[in-house]
Amino acid sequence: MGTSGKSQVRDTNTVKGLIDEYIESYAKPRKMSWHEDLRMLNKEVLPKWKYLPMSDITKQDVTKLLERIGKSGGMPNKTLKVLQSMFSFAVNRSIIETSPCSDIEVLNRYAPKARILKADEIRKIWFGLEKAKMSEAMRSILKILLLTGQRNGEVAGAKWEEFNLREKWWTIPGTRTKNKKNHQVYLTPMVIEILGQTRKHGWVFPSGKDKHIAPRAVSLAIKNNSENKTQLKSAYVDIFKVGQFVPNDLRRTAAALMTGAGVDEAHIAKVQNQGAVASSHDPEIRQALESWEQMLQAILYGWRKTKPFTKNFA
């Protein structure tokens, strides 16, 4: 006889049994992202706690697990949130009396620190992109993030209608900016060279027919190429060899090094659409980005300003 219509009995006294019950009875009916909870629990929690009795899990166990995840480049903050949800579910079902992570806050010390990349790190990332396991469009996004100092979502979601290549300006509409105001970015020669490698209609960086590459996918592409997963039989390896970084570190680095190139902080704020709204085709934005590109060329190639770009953007 079949078991259709009968609920499966799970041993919720073990961590594995609780994970199964939490996903089926709580996460699936209530959370569109339940599959992400399952992925995280299977990857980060189950290998360490699989057969432990629920009653044995302590606050110290949770803390040690989060520290281990943080040191390995994982996402301890998100793991903690899922654990808090799962243990609250267990308390409500009288599986345990108290949650071992009810008084643990999301610990910022586990989060990746904001970085300003050093010159040698910039070189490793830039030239490492040639070997990175990602699409050409993704490589282009990362280079433009560094060259322009704009936000990940603004670059990844760019449309060709926003660009005037003849006049060398990119106008990001207020519907896509953080402050809801139109913002103009001067297109330096290296940026134009990169754009020349892409198609000239619709999304600049398409993903499928009707959408662009998602900002989250950019972060994931970096992560996949920044971790040594050879022991897990993955095709990914640590390409960049600079440690963990995120897309916004490229924006932050551009701003910091513009200062090193002699650009006034007020002009950098204009470049990054912070503070006062810049005027149309603002010369200070142009000068700031031209100065930054010259400095980046010096970092990448030495002080030879005539270095051709095409070979490096093939």
The average pLDDT across 107-127 equals 81
273 or 278, greater pLDDT: 273
Q: Out of 32-36, 71-75, 94-98, pick the least confident.
A: 71-75
Share of the chain above pLDDT 70, in %: 87
pLDDT, position 256:
94
Average pLDDT over residues 157-186: 95
Q: Which tokens hold the place of 310?
A: 């095409």
Residue whose tokens read 């909870």: 37
Q: Fold identical between 15-110 and 119-313? A: no
Q: Report CA Rg, the chain.
A: 24
pLDDT of residue 232: 46
Q: Report how far residue 287's alpha carbon sits from residue 208's, in angstroms, rounded to the nearest whole number.
A: 36
Rounded Cα gap, residues 275 and 144, in angstroms: 22
What value does the mean pLDDT take over residues 246-251? 95
- With 90 as the cut, is the pLDDT of residue 55 above it? no
Q: Where are the domains of the chain?
A: 15-110, 119-313
Is pLDDT at 47 greater than 50 in this prediction? yes
Residues counted in the chain:
314
* Residue in 225, 230, 223, 217 with CA at minimum distance from that of residue 157: 217
Which of the pair, 311 or 105, is modelled with greater confidence?
Answer: 105
Which pLDDT value is given to residue 229? 52
Measured in degrees and rounded to the nearest 5, phi and psi for residue 90 equal -65, -40
Burial of residue 53 (CB within 10 Å: 0-12, 13-18, 19+) is: exposed
pLDDT of 137: 96
CA distance 83 to 61: 12
User: Which residue, chain included where needed, has tokens 């002080």?
Assistant: 303
CB atoms within 10 A of CB 2: 5
Average pLDDT over residues 236-252: 89
Indicate the pLDDT class of residue 4, thresholds 50, 70 and 90: very low
Cβ atoms < 10 Å from Cβ of 58: 11
Does residue 183 surpass a pLDDT of 50? yes
Least confident range of 50-64, 159-173, 222-236:
222-236
pLDDT digit string (tens) for 200-240? 789 999 997 789 999 999 999 999 998 765 444 455 578 99
Question: What integer pLDDT is reported at residue 303 of this predicted model?
Answer: 54
Contact indicator for 185, 169 with CB cutoff of 8 Å: yes
Q: What integer pLDDT is reported at residue 69 of this predicted model?
A: 82
Residue 309 has pLDDT above 50, yes or no: no
Report the range of poorest mean pLDDT among 68-82, 154-168, 175-189, 235-249: 68-82
CATH topology (fold) of 15-110: DNA polymerase; domain 1 (1.10.150)
Output the 3-class SS for the chain.
CCCCCCCCCCCCCEHHHHHHHHHHHHHHHHCCCHHHHHHHHHHHHHHHHCCCEHHHCCHHHHHHHHHHHHHCCCCHHHHHHHHHHHHHHHHHCCCCCCCCCCCCCCCHHHCCCCCCCCHHHHHHHHHHCCCCCCCHHHHHHHHHHHHHCCCHHHHHCCEHHHEECCCCEEEECHHHCCCCCCEEEECCHHHHHHHCCCCCCCECCECCCCCECCHHHHHHHHHHCCCCCHHHCCCCCCCCCCCCCCHHHHHHHHHHHHHHCCCCHHHHHHHCCCCCCCCCCCHHHHHHHHHHHHHHHHHHHCCCCCCCCHHHHC
Pick 265 or 8 by higher pLDDT: 265
- Is pLDDT of 81 > 50? yes
- 228-247: b (≥16 Cβ within 10 Å) or e: eeeeeeeebbebbebebbbb
Average pLDDT taken over every residue of the chain: 86
CATH topology of domain 119-313: hpI Integrase; Chain A (1.10.443)
Identify the top-confidence range among 85-94, 131-140, 231-240. Answer: 131-140
